Amino acid sequence: MDVDSTTNRALSAFHDTLNAIKQRPHRQQIVMGVGSGLVAGYIFAKIGRVAALLLGGGLIALQCAVQQDFIRVDWRRMRQLRYDATSNGPWFSDTFYKVIGENRVFFGSFGGGFLVAISIS
């Protein structure tokens, strides 16, 4: 299966869903945003603890391996990779802000629901 076609299908489905939500009345957008934000925030809070433990443990293990010379880091290569990854930044951020701006009612209520769910879980 081609990765680009899968990515395009996923993005197309995402845009179609956001367009369908955008066509609904503001109250329905708020209810949908808060509901999905509550669910996502609750799941994020529960899974986030485990993910933080695994990520933190992995970083500690990586730091120990670097200090013991089991792993050598090529910092020049890391800087080049960082530059390559961030060189497309403005395109992504412009698209991101455009999508958020077009769907601000939904995403605003989603963010509120997300934060409420994190605070109560």
Q: Is residue 80 part of a domain?
A: yes
- Looking at the 3D structure of the chain, how many domains does it have? 1
* Token reading at 53: 């433990």
**Using one digit for the tens of pLDDT, what is the confidence trace for 57-108?**
988 998 888 888 888 878 899 888 888 877 766 666 777 888 888 888 888 8
Q: Is residue 73 part of a domain?
A: yes
Q: Is residue 74 part of a domain?
A: yes
Q: Is residue 107 part of a domain?
A: yes
In whole angstroms, how large is the CA radius of gyration of the chain? 20
φ, ψ (nearest 5 deg) of residue 103: -120, 40
φ, ψ (nearest 5 deg) of residue 97: -65, -30
Q: Is residue 13 part of a domain?
A: no
| pLDDT for the residue 37 | 93
- Indicate yes or no: pTM above 0.75: no
Percent of the chain topping pLDDT 90: 19
Report the distance separating Cα 107 and Cα 35, nearest Å: 11
Q: Is the pLDDT of residue 120 over 60?
A: yes
Its domain, for residue 83, covers: 36-120
**Using one digit for the tens of pLDDT, what is the confidence trace for 12-71?**
888 898 888 889 988 998 999 999 999 999 999 889 888 888 888 988 998 888 888 888
**Token pair 């890391």 is at which residue?**
78
